[in-house]
């Protein structure tokens, strides 16, 4: 091998190599250093099996590292598993379940995967920005293929690792190009939003959102807080099916939100994790995003296919940045790529191909739409049954109609922490302490029991 | 059609500092919408769509000064841009020696048979949520056995914090973030040269970086004395990144003896060795042999970190499968470190994509499929070795005045050709041969059918005897 010559003399060290290794000298101690300053003690050594260098064992550098806080939702699932009561109900789950309360793999996904398997495609690297056919399909799905922002090529779309990865890319873009700009997130919001912005070193604060008195939207508070934010802030909005409350603004309220955002020169930043899953219609669920785009605003939109295609584990999503010119979109895309490269080089191919195959094939696309309507439909039925049961069982006259007004997988019941604990301890209903239940984990058969539990917890526990 | 010429931008252009001055002072001219139409909350889906997309001009605002206008175009990635330029070239003779992805004798991408087998086995199972946790732990278990040896004590003692990652890049980035978070005053040192993305990864993680001497352009080999000096001169407790085999881009690896000495000097200065192993099995054809440097350090009592990639050795490029492992002093610590790594991952992308994880854990977990993999890996390495020999021979036969021994001395997928920027530019412009601007050639892109053309082209641009 053509390597440079060792500059070390091959004369033996004054301490034999064997003695060194057996503990006669500790490396780093003055003694040893002065006796063997520059020589290579291994110059004549043959490698002989297991050699332990008798150096002072390094105190581990990791001494001070503590356990990271456990994921709160994981704790719910684990407690549920450990519960042996047959009435138990897991309403902490964030993934769709069938009426039999089983995980659901969309038929259209299985079909697409089989097609891909038959074709035997290669596994080459995707470009940094992801699969081109996927990027095109996802932007068109979001804005509509005929939308001016698409026709004018003003959208920078980069494939991301589901919603999380797409949000992180956007956060990194904000950190680099809008230093000091704040992101406003709803109170409450999905737990991971804070982690993403913290790790990306983007400052954030909250805007009022949930009103516990009405179990609805604190619209006045929301508008006031957005108005008070420094000009040019990023406002994180859930495009549809707000997580965790299930409370969405009405179309009229969306208009007013757009007004105040424009007035304050803020940048709308949508997290769209449930397109098609909320109402059953892809177009309707994109309404808020399209409204803002139609106003000529520049905006950011993170998308995820975890729920609406059940592709949780494949990590497929996208970040879209709507710019006012095609040139700006090109430049923004290049900078998103530059942020992605030192994170993971290029995104995973499998999920992107599944989505692209489904969207580009009219038969598969229609099948997907039908399955989504079915999933959203089941949730709506369950909401109706729960509402009916609550209204029948609760004689206090309390208005439970917020269950019907809320949308998507999750519902904020308005139960307090202690009331939620009662749900679990007395009724074996597992949910998060903020009063959130996942309708995806509920079926028609269990609505009556659940209503009993809720009525009891609400009225008999303070 | 003339392909755009490649230019390697100076490193400072990667600095985000250069771009941190957005002009936010331009006045905005948003004009307030005066008639808002009251919309009933009980709209049907169609009505809602109409309301939003409605008639043009309704609800349209005069576009204010674009917010993202100050965003400038990013410099092209030095490796990815080679492929892009190659794609744009219409010449029938074009050769892509840029990215390190294996090609067969016909120059086609390869999907290994062991991968196809695994794929058939796992088809349909990955969408079951229950599969994820199991597959993820299997992947980590199998990956660390591959690196450290299945019988090593540290595995039995539960001292390794392991986590699946988005291939090698993801493993490096997780480690860099971990380093910044828990060793905020530490610095990382890379070999000079190293894979270009190492610089970007640690830079974006905001960890200060430096380099240590590695490649000797005169000998086209290792500059060992300078390497040792740099280790000695670095501040105590620095982090050193090594390529344990098949150094990228040079293909120059230390000998066993040299590794032992490096290990010794690292101990003296209490430096942290971090290994980026992207080519296990691709260097010598032997998986254990290629991990030897790491196992030496393990035996020497270092606490090490290792990034692994299955992109090249299993041909799973697009699936992004890898592993990060960090050796701790005991199980409790390993659990703590692992929990921190998981938290960093959760805020970056959640969890890695399951498909690749299933493929790797299936291949490594089944003795027959694993044996097939080992065989196929050897075949890939053999072909690359043959190409190395053939290229050197062809150049010598053409009567080249230069010494081309480094082609067969260097190992792995790449050859650090020693070509000058002018020669590289000429190769691209006149011969439609693409490589990165540092002269790195991906041997996987060489075939018997393009061999003569390639040798001839290299000879033509170098025959005046210019050495870089």
pLDDT in tens, A319-344: 999 999 999 999 999 999 999 999 99
List the single residue in B with minimal CA-CA distance to A45: B257
How distant is the Cα of A309 from the closest Cα of chain B, in angstroms?
Answer: 10
| E runs forming strands in A249-298 | 267-272
List the single residue in A with minimal CA-CA distance to B330: A60
Q: For all residues of chain A together, what is the average pLDDT?
A: 88
Both structure tokens of A117: 């398997």
Q: Does A346 lie at the interface with B, CB-CB under 8 angstroms?
A: yes
Indicate if the pLDDT at residue B32 is higher than 80: no
Catalytic residue among B89, B230, B253, B276: B276
- Chain B hits for A166, Cβ within 8 Å: none
Q: Does A51 contact B303 at a Cβ distance shorter than 8 Å?
A: no
- The partner residue sitting opposite A262, judged by closest CB among B61, B315, B354, is B61
3-state secondary structure chain B: CCCCCCCCCCHHHHCHHHHCCCCCCCCCCCCCCCCCCCCCCCCCHHHHHHHHHCCCCCCCCCCCCCHHHHCCCCCCCCCHHHHHHHHHCCCCCCEECCCCCCECCCCCECCCHHHHHHHHHHCCCCCCHHHHHHHHHHHHHHHHHHHHCCCCHHHHCCCEEEEEECHHHHHHHHHHHHHHHHCCCCCEEEEECCCHHHHHHHHHCCCCEEEEECEECCCCEECHHHHHHHHHHCCCCCEEEECCCCCCCCCCCCCHHHHHHHHHHHHHCCCEEEEEECCCCCCCCCHHHHCHHHHHHHHCCCCCEEEEECCCCCCCHHHCCEEEEEECCCHHHHHHHHHHHHHHHHCCCCCCCHHHHHHHHHHHHCHHHHHHHHHHHHHHHHHHHHHHHHHHHHHHHCCCCCCCCHHHHCCCCEEECCCCHHHHHHHHHHHCEECCCCCEEEHHHCCHHHHHHHHHHHHHHHCCCCCC
Nearest to B165 by CA among B189, B201, B190: B201
Cα four-point dihedral sign A50, A55, A61, A63: positive
Q: What is the mean pLDDT of residues A361-386?
A: 97
Q: What is the pLDDT of residue A63?
A: 74
Positions of A marked active-site? 190, 271, 307
- Give the number of C-alpha atoms closer than 13 A to the C-alpha of residue B37, restricted to the C-beta side: 9
Q: What is the mean pLDDT of residues A234-248?
A: 97
- Chain A hits for B72, Cβ within 8 Å: 331, 335
Per-residue pLDDT of B51-84, as tens digits, reads: 444 333 334 444 445 667 788 888 888 888 888 8
How distant is the Cα of A40 from the closest Cα of chain B, in angstroms?
Answer: 7
3-state secondary structure B106-171: CCCECCCHHHHHHHHHHCCCCCCHHHHHHHHHHHHHHHHHHHHCCCCHHHHCCCEEEEEECHHHHH
Q: Do domains A73-104+375-460 and A125-360 have the same CATH topology?
A: no
Q: What is the pLDDT of residue B465?
A: 60
Per-residue pLDDT of B159-185, as tens digits, reads: 999 999 999 999 999 999 999 999 999
How distant is the Cα of B415 from the closest Cα of chain A, in angstroms?
Answer: 14
Q: What is the pLDDT of residue A376?
A: 95
Q: Does A338 lie at the interface with B, CB-CB under 8 angstroms?
A: yes
Can you give the residue ranges of every domain in chain A? 73-104+375-460, 125-360
Q: What is the mean pLDDT of residues B198-206?
A: 97
Catalytic residue among B89, B94, B220, B312: B312
List the single residue in B with minimal CA-CA distance to A281: B45
Q: Does A283 contact B68 at a Cβ distance shorter than 8 Å?
A: no
pLDDT category of residue A65 using cuts at 50, 70 and 90 = confident
Per-residue pLDDT of B224-237, as tens digits, reads: 999 999 999 999 99
Q: What is the pLDDT of residue B70?
A: 81
Least confident range of A180-189, B47-56, B139-148: B47-56
Q: What is the mean pLDDT of residues B87-114?
A: 92
Q: What is the pLDDT of residue A131?
A: 98
- What kind and span of H or E run contains A436? strand A436-438
CB-based contact A338:B77 (threshold 8 Å): yes
Indicate if the pLDDT at residue A8 is higher than 80: no
Q: Does B333 contact A60 at a Cβ distance shorter than 8 Å?
A: yes
Q: Which CATH class is domain A125-360?
A: alpha beta
* Helices within A45-190 (DSSP H only): 72-82, 107-119, 132-143, 148-151, 162-177
Spatial neighbors of B338 by CB under 8 A, at least 6 apart, are B161, B162, B163
CB-based contact A72:A432 (threshold 8 Å): yes
pLDDT category of residue B211 using cuts at 50, 70 and 90 = very high
How distant is the Cα of B22 from the closest Cα of chain A, in angstroms?
Answer: 7
Q: Which of the residues A32, A123, A155 would you substitute to probe the B interface, choosing the one with the greatest number of B C-beta atoms within 10 Å?
A: A123
Q: Does B67 contact A298 at a Cβ distance shorter than 8 Å?
A: yes
- pTM over cut 0.90: no
How distant is the Cα of B445 from the closest Cα of chain A, in angstroms?
Answer: 14
Q: What is the mean pLDDT of residues B287-305?
A: 96
CB-based contact A286:A255 (threshold 8 Å): no
Q: Does A150 lie at the interface with B, CB-CB under 8 angstroms?
A: no
Tell me the longest C-alpha to C-alpha distance in chain B. Answer: 84
Q: Does A281 lie at the interface with B, CB-CB under 8 angstroms?
A: yes
Q: What is the pLDDT of residue A346?
A: 97
Q: What is the pLDDT of residue A427?
A: 97
Q: Does A27 contact B268 at a Cβ distance shorter than 8 Å?
A: yes
Least confident range of A174-188, B29-43, B247-261: B29-43
Q: Does A328 contact B68 at a Cβ distance shorter than 8 Å?
A: yes
Spatial neighbors of A361 by CB under 8 A, at least 6 apart, are none
Q: Does B93 lie at the interface with A, CB-CB under 8 angstroms?
A: no
- Chain A hits for B69, Cβ within 8 Å: 328
pLDDT category of residue B356 using cuts at 50, 70 and 90 = very high
Between B195 and B61, name the one with better pLDDT: B195
Q: Is the ipTM of this complex over 0.90?
A: no
Least confident range of A132-146, A194-208, A212-226, B4-18: B4-18
Q: Does A396 lie at the interface with B, CB-CB under 8 angstroms?
A: no
Q: Does A349 lie at the interface with B, CB-CB under 8 angstroms?
A: yes
Q: What is the pLDDT of residue A72?
A: 74
CB-based contact A164:A197 (threshold 8 Å): no
Q: Does B71 contact A164 at a Cβ distance shorter than 8 Å?
A: no
Q: Does A315 lie at the interface with B, CB-CB under 8 angstroms?
A: yes
Q: What is the mean pLDDT of residues A289-306?
A: 97
Q: Does B73 contact A330 at a Cβ distance shorter than 8 Å?
A: yes
Strand partners, B456: none
Dist CA A391 CA B324 (whole Å) = 54
List the single residue in A with minimal CA-CA distance to B216: A4
How distant is the Cα of B146 from the closest Cα of chain A, in angstroms?
Answer: 19
Catalytic residue among B195, B202, B373, B404: B195
Q: Does A462 lie at the interface with B, CB-CB under 8 angstroms?
A: no
For β-strands A204-208 and A89-90, DSSP reports them as unpaired
* B 118-137 near A (Cβ less than 8 A): 119-120, 123-124, 126-132
Both structure tokens of A432: 């998060």
How distant is the Cα of B353 from the closest Cα of chain A, in angstroms?
Answer: 4
Dist CA B172 CA B170 (whole Å) = 5
Strand partners, A430: A90
Q: What is the pLDDT of residue A76?
A: 87
pLDDT category of residue A60 using cuts at 50, 70 and 90 = low
Class of residue B42 by CB neighbours under 10 A (exposed 0-12, middle 13-18, buried 19+) = exposed
Q: For all residues of chain B together, what is the average pLDDT?
A: 86
Q: Does A30 lie at the interface with B, CB-CB under 8 angstroms?
A: no
Q: Does A117 contact B71 at a Cβ distance shorter than 8 Å?
A: no
Dist CA B433 CA B451 (whole Å) = 12
Domain A73-104+375-460 of CATH type 3.90.1150.10 = yes
Q: What is the pLDDT of residue B129?
A: 64
Indicate if the pLDDT at residue A300 is higher than 80: yes
- Chain B hits for A314, Cβ within 8 Å: 126, 353-355
Both structure tokens of B299: 């035996």
How distant is the Cα of B355 from the closest Cα of chain A, in angstroms?
Answer: 7
Dist CA B76 CA B151 (whole Å) = 45
* B 176-235 near A (Cβ less than 8 A): 177, 182-183, 197, 200-201, 203-205, 216, 219-225
**B322-327 β-sheet, strand order:** B160-165, B322-327, B305-309, B272-277, B239-242, B188-192, B209-213
Between B99 and A134, name the one with better pLDDT: A134
pLDDT category of residue A15 using cuts at 50, 70 and 90 = very low
Q: Map tokens 């980026």 to a residue.
A: B276
- The partner residue sitting opposite A344, judged by closest CB among B33, B84, B169, is B169
Strand partners, B273: B240
- Chain A hits for B252, Cβ within 8 Å: 3
Most confident range (mean pLDDT) of A73-82, A261-270, B103-112 is: A261-270
Q: Does A117 lie at the interface with B, CB-CB under 8 angstroms?
A: yes
Q: Does A168 contact B348 at a Cβ distance shorter than 8 Å?
A: yes
* B 408-467 near A (Cβ less than 8 A): 409
What 3-state DSSP class applies to A196? helix
Q: What is the pLDDT of residue B73?
A: 87
- The partner residue sitting opposite A42, judged by closest CB among B73, B254, B264, is B264
Q: Does B223 contact A291 at a Cβ distance shorter than 8 Å?
A: no
List the single residue in A with minimal CA-CA distance to B270: A58
- Chain B hits for A6, Cβ within 8 Å: 224-225, 258
Nearest to A402 by CA among A393, A416, A412: A412
Give the count of Cβ contacts less than 8 A between chain A and B: 356
- The partner residue sitting opposite B111, judged by closest CB among A52, A122, A328, is A122
Q: What is the pLDDT of residue B127?
A: 62
CB-based contact A299:A270 (threshold 8 Å): yes
């Amino acid at each position: 091998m053509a390597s440079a010559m060792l500059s070390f003399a091959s004369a033996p060290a004054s301490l034999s190599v064997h003695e060194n290794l057996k503990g006669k000298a500790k490396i780093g101690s003055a003694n040893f250093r002065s006796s063997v300053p520059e020589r290579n003690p291994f110059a004549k050594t043959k490698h002989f099996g297991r050699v332990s260098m008798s150096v002072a064992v390094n105190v581990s550098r990791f001494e001070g590292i503590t356990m990271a806080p456990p994921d709160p939702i994981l704790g719910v699932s684990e407690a549920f598993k450990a519960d042996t009561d047959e009435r138990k109900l897991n309403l902490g789950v964030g993934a769709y379940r069938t009426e039999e309360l089983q995980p659901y793999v969309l038929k259209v996904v299985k079909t697409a995967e089989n097609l891909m398997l038959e074709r035997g495609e290669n596994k080459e690297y995707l470009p940094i920005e992801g699969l081109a056919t996927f990027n095109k399909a996802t932007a068109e799905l979001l804005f509509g293929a005929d939308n001016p922002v698409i026709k004018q090529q003003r959208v920078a779309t980069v494939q991301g690792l589901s919603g999380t990865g797409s949000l992180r890319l956007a956060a990194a873009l904000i950190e680099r190009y809008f230093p000091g700009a704040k992101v406003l997130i709803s109170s409450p919001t999905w737990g991971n939003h804070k982690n993403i912005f913290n790790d990306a070193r983007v400052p954030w604060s909250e805007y009022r959102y949930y009103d516990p008195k009405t179990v609805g939207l604190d619209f006045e508070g929301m508008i006031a807080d957005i108005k008070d934010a420094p000009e040019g802030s990023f406002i994180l909005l859930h495009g549809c099916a707000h997580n965790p409350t299930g409370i969405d603004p009405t179309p009229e309220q969306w208009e007013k939100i757009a007004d105040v955002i424009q007035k304050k020169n803020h940048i709308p930043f949508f997290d769209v994790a449930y397109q098609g899953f909320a109402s059953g219609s892809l177009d309707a669920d994109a309404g808020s995003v399209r409204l803002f785009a139609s106003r000529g605003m520049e905006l950011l939109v993170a998308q995820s296919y975890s729920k609406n295609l059940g592709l949780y584990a494949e990590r497929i999503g996208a970040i879209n940045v709507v710019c006012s010119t095609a040139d700006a979109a090109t430049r923004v895309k290049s900078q998103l790529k530059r942020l992605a490269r030192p994170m993971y080089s290029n995104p995973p191919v499998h999920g992107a191909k599944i989505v692209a195959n489904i969207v580009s094939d009219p038969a598969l696309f229609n099948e997907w739409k039908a399955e989504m309507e079915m999933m959203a439909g089941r949730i709506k039925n369950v909401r109706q049954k729960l509402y009916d049961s609550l209204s029948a069982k609760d004689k206090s006259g309390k208005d439970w109609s917020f269950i019907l007004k809320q949308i998507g997988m999750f519902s904020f019941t308005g139960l307090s922490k202690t009331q939620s604990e009662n749900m679990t301890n007395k009724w074996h209903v597992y949910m998060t302490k903020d009063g959130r239940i996942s309708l995806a984990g509920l079926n028609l058969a269990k609505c009556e029991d659940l209503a009993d539990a809720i009525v009891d917890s609400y009225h008999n526990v303070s | 059609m003339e392909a755009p010429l490649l230019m390697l931008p100076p490193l400072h252009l990667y600095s985000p500092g250069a771009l941190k001055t957005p002009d936010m002072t331009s006045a905005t001219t948003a004009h307030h919408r005066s008639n808002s139409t009251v919309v009933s909350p009980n709209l049907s889906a169609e009505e809602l769509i109409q309301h939003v997309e409605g008639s043009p001009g309704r609800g349209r605002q005069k576009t204010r000064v674009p917010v993202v206008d100050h965003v400038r175009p990013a410099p092209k990635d030095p490796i990815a841009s080679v492929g892009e330029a190659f794609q744009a070239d219409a010449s029938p003779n074009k050769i892509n020696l840029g990215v390190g992805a294996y090609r067969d004798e016909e120059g086609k991408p390869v999907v290994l048979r062991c991968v196809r087998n695994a794929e058939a086995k796992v088809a349909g199972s990955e969408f079951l949520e229950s599969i994820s946790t199991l597959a993820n732990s299997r992947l980590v278990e199998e990956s660390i056995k591959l690196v450290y040896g299945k019988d090593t004590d540290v595995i039995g003692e539960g001292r390794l914090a392991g986590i699946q990652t988005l291939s090698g890049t993801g493993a490096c980035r997780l480690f860099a973030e971990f380093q910044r978070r828990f060793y905020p005053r530490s610095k990382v040192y890379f070999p000079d040269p190293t894979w270009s993305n190492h610089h970007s990864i640690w830079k974006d993680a905001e960890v200060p970086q430096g380099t240590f001497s590695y490649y000797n352009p005169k000998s086209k080999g290792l500059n060992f004395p300078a390497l040792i000096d740099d280790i000695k001169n670095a501040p105590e407790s620095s982090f050193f990144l090594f390529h344990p085999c098949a150094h990228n881009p040079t293909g120059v690896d230390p000998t066993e003896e040299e590794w032992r000495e490096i290990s010794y000097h690292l101990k003296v200065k209490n430096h942290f060795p971090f290994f980026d192993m992207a080519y296990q099995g691709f260097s010598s054809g032997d998986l254990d042999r290629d991990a030897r440097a790491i196992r030496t350090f393990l035996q020497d009592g270092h606490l090490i970190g290792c990034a692994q990639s299955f992109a090249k050795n299993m041909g799973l490029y697009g699936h992004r499968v890898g592993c990060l492992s960090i050796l701790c002093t005991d199980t409790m610590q390993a659990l703590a470190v692992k929990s921190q790594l998981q938290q960093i991952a959760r805020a970056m992308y959640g969890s890695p994509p399951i498909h690749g994880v299933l493929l790797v854990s299936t291949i490594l977990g089944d003795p027959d499929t694993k044996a097939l993999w080992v065989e196929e890996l050897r075949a890939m390495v053999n072909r690359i070795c043959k190409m190395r020999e053939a290229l050197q021979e062809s150049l010598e036969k053409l009567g080249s005045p230069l010494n081309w021994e480094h082609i067969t001395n260097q190992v792995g997928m790449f050859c650090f050709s020693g070509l000058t920027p002018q020669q590289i530019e000429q190769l691209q412009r006149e011969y439609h041969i693409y490589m990165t601007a540092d002269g790195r050639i991906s041997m996987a892109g060489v075939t018997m059918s393009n061999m003569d053309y390639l040798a001839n082209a290299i000879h033509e641009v170098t025959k005046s005897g210019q050495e870089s």
